[in-house]
Structure 1
Amino acid sequence: MAGLAERKKAVIEALTRESLLGAAEELLREEGWEGATMERLAQNAGVAKGTVYNYFRDKRALLVAVAERCTVRLRHIVTSCDDEADPAEVLRQVLREGFSQLCRNRRIIAALFLACRDEEGTGRDCDFRLSPLGDIRAFVRSVISLGVARGRFRPVDPVLAEAVIYSAIIGLARHLSQRGLVVSEGAFSPAATEFLLDGLCARREGAPGLADGEVAPSEGERPQ
């Protein structure tokens, strides 16, 4: 009986935590970082304020948990990837899902940026830099490395290439979260993905020796 009671308690706690995270996600989307207080969350979730603190020590810890919840689908792509899959297609899936999340969670991303800004100068580590993004970034580097080895990507440095992709994503995230870039999710995700994978250069039909997705050189770049 004791074991059954413990399992029942664990299930209730898991459901309560998930309910709080769902309410926090909605609250962040509606009110942003400053309006999403622990008291307001408790009201929206229909629980006592102390209950919220039983699961999250403060608003920053709550935000980290919400960010992790928002990357579940992206992390699923990473963990379920077939080793024999085409590296270019894997990277395309990761980028498309990542960019879709940027559009879907603009207010949450804005809250992350504000929270990190508040941490600056306090002497404390910013918890948000220890998010699941670290594992995802390592995965992207491994995909690029594999793509280079298989001839699907140009012979680039995987660390540098991933850093460029990550920097572009962070820059776009800032634009989206600050409403400096107004674009629909349906248009943004595929366009940003193809831009990072293929760049600006137009493909030329019949260009010899090009792998799928490789960009043909311009006239000025071609050997004479």
Structure 2
Amino acid sequence: MRRTKEQTAETREALLDAAEQVFFDRGVARATLEEIAREAGMTRGALYWHFTDKEALYAAMLERVRLPLLETELAASDLSDPFAALERFADKALERIAHNEQIWRIHVIIMLRRERLPGNPGMIDIERQLRGHIAAALGDCFRRAKVLGMLRESIPPERAARGFQSQLIGLIYVGIQDPDAFRLHADGVEMIRDLLAGYRAA
């Protein structure tokens, strides 16, 4: 029985690897389940045993980049200095994307290969849920900064969290678009520090 479970897990991972490659090469909209099964060296029946449709494959692929969960790491941080926790969060997130090939490739798929076409509400919901997990942890962090008197009085915590997340997403987008001109990790962390400096109470 144990071996069967191991084989099932290996098959699932192989299908996710294949989906990742096909999505990267052809784009999510043009990729077919038949192509993904063929890339994995399996039948469509084997694919359907693990995933009901392309949306389920896409969701599982995104889940792989959330492990370990960065938002959980942020929530577990010592929030006596929320700004230091936010900087560490951004540092770790950008480092993972810049230096882990699989995580970088999945972010390329999300930002450049996942065509925003009508009829994809499920994928939009998947991405919104992923952003929402992180947004909730960021909001808690900025609310803590507000309570401690560290956040500028004129900036609501919710707006600060949205601005921080938007800046981070923008940095990732620029970093994968033009990696030769923009050092995602080194340059990105400096820009996050600049943003946080603007948020700090005088």
Bin of the TM-score, shorter chain as denominator length: 0.7 to 0.9
Q: Using the aligned pairs only, state the percent identity.
A: 27
Structure 1 pair 28–163 and aligned structure 2 pair: CA distance change class (3 A): same
Alpha-carbon separation, structure 1, partners of 2:181 and 2:31: 24
Segment of structure 1 superposing worse, 82-91 or 30-39: 30-39
Amino acid at match of 1:127: D
Which residue does the alignment assign to 2:182? 183
Uncovered stretches (5+) of structure 1, i.e. residues with no partner: 200-212, 217-224
User: More helix by proportion, 1 or 2?
Assistant: 2
Alpha-carbon separation, structure 2, partners of 1:123 and 1:50: 23
Amino acid at match of 1:192: M
Alpha-carbon separation, structure 1, partners of 2:88 and 2:106: 22
Larger radius of gyration: 1
Alpha-carbon separation, structure 2, partners of 1:169 and 1:136: 11
Residue 177 (structure 1) shift: 4.8
Structure 1 pair 25–115 and aligned structure 2 pair: CA distance change class (3 A): closer
Residue 162 (structure 1) shift: 0.9
Segment of structure 1 superposing worse, 102-111 or 138-147: 102-111
Is contact 2:29–2:114 with CA below 8 Å preserved after alignment? no
SS in 1 for 2:28: helix
Is contact 1:110–1:177 with CA below 8 Å preserved after alignment? yes
Alpha-carbon separation, structure 2, partners of 1:128 and 1:93: 26
Structure 1 pair 91–11 and aligned structure 2 pair: CA distance change class (3 A): same
Alpha-carbon separation, structure 2, partners of 1:190 and 1:84: 19
Alpha-carbon separation, structure 1, partners of 2:186 and 2:79: 30
Segment of structure 1 superposing worse, 178-187 or 82-91: 178-187
TM-score by length of 2: 0.73
Structure 1 pair 214–18 and aligned structure 2 pair: CA distance change class (3 A): same
Q: Is 2:42 the counterpart of 1:47? A: yes
- 1:47-75 Cα deviation digits (max 9, x unpaired): 22321222222333212221121121324
- 1:100-158 Cα deviation digits (max 9, x unpaired): 3554545533433453612x3x3845233343321211011001111221233333311
Structure 1 pair 82–115 and aligned structure 2 pair: CA distance change class (3 A): closer
SS in 1 for 2:42: coil
Aligned residue pairs total 195
